[in-house]
Amino acid sequence: MGSLRRTHSCNDLGTGNVGEEVVLMGWVLRRRDHGGVIFIDLRDRHGLTQIVFNPAIEEEVHAKAHQLRSEWVLAVRGKVVLRPGDMANPKLATGAIEILASELRILNTSETPPFPLDEEVEVSDTLRLQYRYLDLRRPEMAANLIIRHKAVQAVRTYLHDHGFLEIETPMLTRSTPEGARDYLVPSRVNAGKFYALPQSPQLFKQLLMIAGMERYYQIVKCFRDEDLRADRQPEFTQIDMELSFVDEEQIIKVTEGMITSLFRETRDLDVAPPFKRITYDQAIARFGTDRPDMRFGFEIVDLTGIASGCGFKVFRDIADAGGIVRAINANNCAGFSRKDLDDLTEFAVQFGAKGLAWVKMKAAGEWQSPIAKFFSEEERAEITRTLGATEGDLLFFGADKPAVVCQVLGELRAELARRLDLLKKDNFNFVWVTDFPLMEYDEKEKRFQALHHPFTAPRDEDIDSLEKDPASVYSRAYDLVLNGTEIGGGSIRIHRKDVQLKVLKALSIGEEEARDKFGFLLRALELGAPPHGGIAFGLDRLMMIITGSSSIRDVIAFPKTQKATCPLTEAPASVSRKQLTELYLRPDWKEKE
RNA sequence: GGGGUCGUAGUUCAGUUGGUUAGAAUGCCGGCCUGUCACGCCGGAUGUCGCCGGUUCGAGCCCGGUCGGCCCCGCCA
């Protein structure tokens, strides 16, 4: 840089700076060489400033500017001048002025970038990730990282102001049963033993409460070795919190405040707490999912009572055999084509539906439908009335086991909303989902599984039911859902050893296994554990929604591909035999030639 | 583990029924150009059609396999 030192960013000069001599540093975004005068759009993290090289002012500097190319790194000294005549560019924050260059220092040259940084061309994900450092130079990507920083700052400030301590917990910890697949780290000093990377700091934050820290938080990486999705990465970040001597209401209140502060600092929006609430049972009944998107209607309506005894054998048999029949009314969708309906049927089938019955509402309550003929006039009228259907509506039916019907209709209403463009990105619709069941029966494993995790407290009045009727026990858990995405979840925890053992027993984890896997927690519960509870938010998903991104990758600096690889570093990679030997690992697969 | 979709110039894409020398835009290189802002004009260079195999007189195109990207199901307490 020689003696040059940056005086301003490329976004902060305006008419008020005219006449000042400044030094800017940044990258060449575009070059417009007129043979005589040369214009350079200089870009840094903050914005763009136009630099002018005029041969009549500094001939030598102008000659040097002639060789500039995309993404060369420059230091430019010059005078801020008003753009002449009507040459101001209203599209630029700095468009009223330009820098008349008197000195140009080329800090580095660059090869032609593998993809353009100055256009809105969709570049393939592999290439973007392989050259992520170039991808992140693009203003939209930089903006995402900047807004993520603001979010994290807002959270830290808010939690500090509310008495929380930021405390780190180990990354090398032990594998615990249940939950997602662990990432394992072999121990060199302990032959044949493994650490696991944390799926969350759950047990440590509870131990910090037992340690008397009272209010803890951490913005922390978590690891789950499961398949990836547009909103799922194997390593992701949680805003993790835990509080002592509180109930659900206090946790909800403090986190609503945190989310409010976060939206104010990032988007300057008031999300207006308190947020809506819905019970788990209501969410499933009305929306078919425990993370309802309530930005639109199409609510699910139960028809099992009508179906039982109706003329349509398929519905009747399912209703009489303990299944359910439910439907949604897609208002004003009777114009859907045969192909639309075929596509939606195919969509429903992938969630386990055996088909998708539909009815197009014609004038005077008349049905146009392949199944119309199976119903009596009275039955049709009753269904029409129950669904509030009028001319131009389109009805969809689900008839199957409850879980299948709920999922199919839940996904279907979301798909309808996508097709009808009802999902406005700037409409932030929060809802707390409460009163979850503590556990549900796993048909494959033939045992109960915790819906949240095994440390979630059951409701006091349900503790006695743990042994005889585990399925009827409700928990003290709560999830925060934003636009159909679960962005946070937590619970009041168990702080009594006898209750913890009962819950573990109901989950078919006997005392011996419990002692082996969570002995340290059980012991801690014997030594003055205070009542406590907490919550964790998925920062990446939250940022995805706040920035309107379609993938979690767009709010993570160095994300992984769907096969969990990193095209930039080419991780994961092979290691030497020596490294494996040191770790007491002996691969039994054949090395590829 | 399963379903879908994509892979052609540096980039984004087109490529007909299998038929001569694989195109467009943009970028890149050179020239001209003193007020552009996606500058303009003239000229030029640029291909492992992801990879392997098959069918065929002939394959970017058809078939089989494989690798990779993305989306989804399962999975994600």
Q: pLDDT digits over A464-475, tens only?
A: 999 999 999 999
Secondary structure class of A524 (helix, strand, coil): helix
* Strand B–CB A85 distance below 7 A: yes
Q: Classify each residue of A443-452 as buried b or exposed e, where b means 16 or more C-beta atoms within 10 Å of its C-beta.
A: eeeeebebbb
Is 90 exceeded by the pLDDT of residue A591?
no
Task: Please give the distance of CA A310 from its chain centroid, rounded to a whole number.
Answer: 43
* Strand B–CB A407 distance below 7 A: yes
Residue A218: both structure tokens together: 């951490």
Q: Give residue A339's pLDDT.
A: 86
CB-to-strand B under 7 Å, chain A 55-84: 55-56, 69-70, 83-84
Positions in chain B where some atom is under 7 Å from a protein CB: 1-2, 10-13, 26-29, 32-40, 68-77
Over residues A419-466, the pLDDT tens digits come to: 999 999 999 999 999 999 999 998 888 889 999 999 999 999 999 999
Beta bridge partners of A431: A276, A481
| Distance, CA of A41 to C1' of B9, in Å | 27
* Strand B–CB A445 distance below 7 A: no
Over residues A347-356, the pLDDT tens digits come to: 999 999 999 9
Q: Give residue A255's pLDDT.
A: 98
The mean per-residue pLDDT over the stretch A493-507 comes to: 95
Nucleotide closest in space to A536 (CA vs C1'): B77
Question: What phi-psi label fits residue A497: left (phi over 0), alpha (psi between -120 and 50 degrees) or beta?
Answer: alpha
CB-to-strand B under 7 Å, chain A 204-233: 224, 226-232
The mean per-residue pLDDT over the stretch A528-543 comes to: 98
Residue A92: both structure tokens together: 């630029």
Taking C1' of B2 and every protein CA, the nearest residue is A350
Do the beta carbons of residue A523 and residue A532 sit within 8 Å? no
User: Cα separation of A530 and A522, whole Å?
Assistant: 13
* Strand B–CB A18 distance below 7 A: no
Is 90 exceeded by the pLDDT of residue A364?
no
| Distance, CA of A111 to C1' of B9, in Å | 18
| Distance, CA of A37 to C1' of B36, in Å | 9
ipTM for the assembly: 0.93
Give the CA-trace dihedral at A21, A22, A27, A33, to 10 degrees.
Answer: -10
| Distance, CA of A542 to C1' of B54, in Å | 50
Task: Look at A202-216, A231-245, A403-417, A510-524 and tell me which has the smallest mean pLDDT.
Answer: A510-524
The model's confidence at residue A586, banded by pLDDT at 50, 70 and 90, is confident
* Strand B–CB A177 distance below 7 A: no
Secondary structure class of A400 (helix, strand, coil): strand
Beta strands in A69-124 (DSSP E): 73-82, 97-108
Over residues A112-130, the pLDDT tens digits come to: 999 999 877 788 889 999 9
Q: Give residue A593's pLDDT.
A: 31
Do the beta carbons of residue A458 and residue A503 sit within 8 Å? yes
Taking residue A549's Cβ as centre, other Cβ atoms within 10 Å add up to 20
- Within A131-279, where are the H helices? 132-135, 139-161, 202-210, 248-267
| Distance, CA of A395 to C1' of B6, in Å | 34
Do the beta carbons of residue A363 and residue A445 sit within 8 Å? no
Beta pairing class for A439-442 and A447-450: antiparallel
**Quick one: which of A221, A2, A34, A217 has its CA closest to A105?**
A2
Q: Give residue A176's pLDDT.
A: 82
Taking residue A575's Cβ as centre, other Cβ atoms within 10 Å add up to 11
User: Cα separation of A535 and A492, whole Å?
Assistant: 9
CB-to-strand B under 7 Å, chain A 180-199: 180-181, 199
Q: Classify each residue of A229-242 as buried b or exposed e, where b means 16 or more C-beta atoms within 10 Å of its C-beta.
A: eebebbbbbbbbbb
| Distance, CA of A124 to C1' of B8, in Å | 15
Secondary structure class of A304 (helix, strand, coil): helix
**Quick one: which of A569, A567, A536, A538 has its CA closest to A552?**
A538
CB-to-strand B under 7 Å, chain A 495-554: 551, 553
% chain A with pLDDT above 90: 90
The model's confidence at residue A198, banded by pLDDT at 50, 70 and 90, is very high
The mean per-residue pLDDT over the stretch A385-404 comes to: 96
Beta strands in A406-524 (DSSP E): 430-434, 439-442, 447-450, 477-482, 485-492
* Strand B–CB A572 distance below 7 A: no
By the 10 Å C-beta count (0-12 exposed, 13-18 middle, 19+ buried), A311 is classed as middle
Task: Please give the distance of CA A148 from its chain centroid, rounded to a whole number.
Answer: 13
| Distance, CA of A129 to C1' of B18, in Å | 37
Beta bridge partners of A556: none
Nucleotide closest in space to A454 (CA vs C1'): B77
By the 10 Å C-beta count (0-12 exposed, 13-18 middle, 19+ buried), A396 is classed as buried
Nucleotide closest in space to A57 (CA vs C1'): B34
Do the beta carbons of residue A434 and residue A248 sit within 8 Å? yes
* Strand B–CB A87 distance below 7 A: yes
Task: Look at A46-50, A173-177, A281-285, A567-571 and tell me which has the smallest mean pLDDT.
Answer: A173-177
Task: Look at A154-158, A534-538, A584-588 and tell me which has the smallest mean pLDDT.
Answer: A584-588
Q: For tokens 């040259």, what's the residue? A: A109
% chain A with pLDDT above 70: 99
Taking C1' of B12 and every protein CA, the nearest residue is A121
Q: Concatenated DSSP letters for A39-61?
A: EEEEE-SS-EEEEEE-TTT-HHH
Over residues A565-578, the pLDDT tens digits come to: 999 999 999 999 99
The model's confidence at residue A590, banded by pLDDT at 50, 70 and 90, is low
* Strand B–CB A41 distance below 7 A: yes
Over residues A4-45, the pLDDT tens digits come to: 999 999 999 999 999 999 999 999 999 999 999 999 999 999
pTM comes to 0.95
**Quick one: which of A37, A4, A38, A46 has its CA closest to A21?**
A4
| Distance, CA of A185 to C1' of B51, in Å | 34
Axis-axis angle for helices A139-161, A248-267 (nearest 10)? 140
Beta bridge partners of A106: A74
Q: Classify each residue of A201-224 as buried b or exposed e, where b means 16 or more C-beta atoms within 10 Å of its C-beta.
A: bbbbbbbbbbeebbbbbbbbebbb
| Distance, CA of A465 to C1' of B42, in Å | 87
Q: What's chain A's average pLDDT?
A: 95
Q: Give residue A363's pLDDT.
A: 87
Nucleotide closest in space to A88 (CA vs C1'): B37
